[in-house]
Amino acid sequence: MPNPCAHLDAITDIKPAKAYECAECVKTGSRWVHLRTCQECGITHCCDNSPNKHATKHFKASHHPVIASAEPGERWVYCFPDEAFAEY
């Protein structure tokens, strides 16, 4: 049973990744594993399997709650504060 989440319920259009790279890792030449796009501001960051975990850091700094996977073929969104996950 998924957690109830008003953040995911409020999303009608998924913001796609503007660039297929982590906005922070490219500055430092770091590597990433998977990419996630913030659904509040549209910036793309690396996932928690990546050494720098920039998507989680972005949430902690900005409190933008929802990310979408930016990986080709993946169609899901995740809410950090509610730990809620939904496919679309």
Chain-centroid distance of CA 56 in Å reads 8
Query: Site map for Zn ion, 40-79, x if CB under 5 A?
Result: xx----x-----x-x-------x-x--------------x
Residue (28 or 72) nearer to Zn ion, CB:
28
Q: What is the sign, positive or negative, of the torsion defined by CA atoms of 54, 20, 43, 25?
A: positive
Pairing of strands 44-46, 66-69: unpaired
- Residues in contact with Zn ion by CB under 5 A are 5, 7, 22, 24-25, 32, 38, 40-41, 46, 52, 54, 62, 64, 79, 82
